[in-house]
Structure 1
Amino acid sequence: MTGPQENQTTRRRAPGMSPEHRRKMIIQTAIPLITEYGSAVTTAKIARAAGIGEGTIFRVFADKEELLHACIAEALSPDHAIRELGAIDIDQPLADRLAEAAEALQAHMDRLGALIGSLGHGGGKHPGTVRGAGREESTSRVREALAELLEPDKATLRRTPEQIAALFIGLLFTQPRTADEPDLTPQELVEVFLHGAASGSAK
């Protein structure tokens, strides 16, 4: 026969999500919805997608504006891109490493651009998360991670890995886009970066 104490133990519910864990879960659910619907997305829609009650959102966010702010900060965070840079096989040739890095960094910027673009204000309401120190810290962390990928070839580089990383990021994010020409693929961009604009047949 099961005693009262055993019954109480059996019926005890699993511990609930911590506020921080719940906050992260809501942000991850909200980002694709904000990208699709912009600021018109409702907290009710986010709650349904997350499988929670709408009131749960307001236990961890003061209002929808704070949730939007948190989503932009999460999209701006370079953590995901840095993890992808860290997973690149360091034994590959330099050109292959840089091509993979370009793909990871372009995907990061595409995600951020899609989110901010959907809100229709270019981040203007949230300067602390999109511009200034936060943006500089993000760029610095990405540059450091990229420099680590360049370190094995340090002896053959014309500048330090940090300087080369900064130049590569500058080229990657400022390449011109024209209506009549497709964007450079990561492989094409790396080829121009490593070998210059002139073809092998140029004199």
Structure 2
Amino acid sequence: MTDATSRRRAPAMSPELRREMIVRAALPLVVEYGTSVTTAQIARAAGIGEGTIFRAFGDKDALLAACMAEAARPDDTLAHVGAISLELPLAERLIEASEALRGYLSRMGAVAGALAASGGLRREPPSEGSSEGAAENRRRALNGREASMAATREVLAGLFEPERDRLRLDPERLAEAFQFMTMASGRGVTPLTSAELVELFLHGAYAGGPAEN
């Protein structure tokens, strides 16, 4: 038996896994080049032929849309936050959660910003029924954002749960407040660090304790 006949072929990659692999290779290029990135560049980064991209996605716009959807997907970030040890002090738990959430927001913003700055995703020409289709797409996007926000609040609430009996508000309400503070804290001229955000959230603006009446 020759080496050629004895050598086993690697198992074929499923279409879903191949699309995921292509998107992972494409994301850094999309951030760098926006919509001007070429399928040839993506193919080289992924180590595949350019035709494989078109077989997997049909066209470049579909690939760019898949990149945006992947950047907006919070699953990995929520898994990270959900895995934070409850044995850590609450402040440390929240700092780690803030870092994870801000990293996710930064990655999503980088992809969206690059696509917008270079012209955005190409839109299909208007057609009969297009207004109803656009409304349905907006509804689905809104539902997706709401579901993502709700899932984030749920996993954040778990970080407050061990201290429930010592908290001014229930974990769910604190999780919602912390979520919105985290989303806003990275903006402005001098953005708060995660440590500053958590210190402010847990202890307020007054140094050395609560304000005097």
State the shift of 1:174 in Å. Answer: 2.0
Return the letter of the residue paired with 1:163: R
Q: Does 1:99 align with 2:95?
A: yes
Q: In 1, distance between residues paired with 2:71 and 2:62?
A: 14
Question: Of 75, 78, 84, which aligns to 1:82?
Answer: 78
Alpha-carbon RMSD across the aligned residues, in angstroms, is 2.6
* Runs of 5+ consecutive residues of structure 2 not aligned to the other structure: 124-133
1:140 equivalent in alignment to 2:150: yes
1:72 aligns with 2:68: yes
The one-letter code sitting in structure 2 at the alignment partner of 1:71 is C
Equivalent position of 1:188 in the other structure:
196
- The number of residues matched between the two structures is 197
Structure 1 position 52 matched with structure 2 position 48: yes
CA distance in 1, matches of 2:46, 2:186: 39
Q: Relative to 1, partners in 2 of residues 1:123 and 1:158: Cα closer, same or farther, differing over 3 Å?
A: farther
Percent identical pairs in the alignment equals 51
Gaps of 5+ in 1: none
Alignment of 1:1-203 (within 5 A): 2=1, 10-120=6-116, 131-175=141-185, 177-179=187-189, 182-200=190-208, 203=212
Q: Which amino acid aligns with 1:197?
A: A
| Partners of 2:54 and 2:207 in 1: CA distance | 59
**Alpha-carbon separation, structure 2, partners of 1:173 and 1:114:** 15
Assess if the C-alpha contact under 8 Å between 1:27 and 1:70 holds in 2. yes
The residue that corresponds to 2:131 in the other structure is none
Normalised TM-score (structure 2): 0.83
Which residue identity lines up with residue 142 of structure 1 in the other structure? T
User: Are the aligned partners of 1:143 and 1:169 in contact in 2 as well (CA < 8 Å)?
Assistant: yes
CA contact (8 A) 2:25 2:45 kept: yes
